[in-house]
Amino acid sequence: MLKLIFTIGVVYAVWYSFKNWARISAAYKEVQDEKARAEGAEIKSKPRQPVVQDLVPCPKCGSYVAAGAVCSCEKA
């Protein structure tokens, strides 16, 4: 009889932890989905910015640098 109660206890413990695990993993998945959505929204908003930057020749050394950026020769 004690063995039966023990077995039921083990089964209950396994079932209970599984139930909690399912709940925890579901919550975790929700957080991951939320994160993915936030990242996806960020990626979608980015194409508005130019992907390829305009290059302009440096007036001093002639090497092409991104428009608005300071050439390496200016920094030195």
Cα–Cα nearest to 6, from 36, 18, 14: 14
The smaller minimum CB distance to Zn ion, of residues 8 and 66, is found at: 66
The smaller minimum CB distance to Zn ion, of residues 56 and 61, is found at: 61
Q: ∠ at Cα 66 (54, 42), nearest 5°?
A: 75
Q: Name the minimum Å distance from CB 26 to Zn ion.
A: 56
Q: Name the minimum Å distance from CB 53 to Zn ion.
A: 16
Site residue total, Zn ion (CB under 5 A): 5
How many C-beta neighbours within 10 Å does residue 56 have? 13
Name residues contacting Zn ion, limited to 17-76 (CB under 5 A): 58, 60-61, 71, 73
DSSP 4-28: HHHHHHHHHHHHHHHHHHHHHHHHH
Interface ranges with Zn ion (CB under 5 A) = 58, 60-61, 71, 73
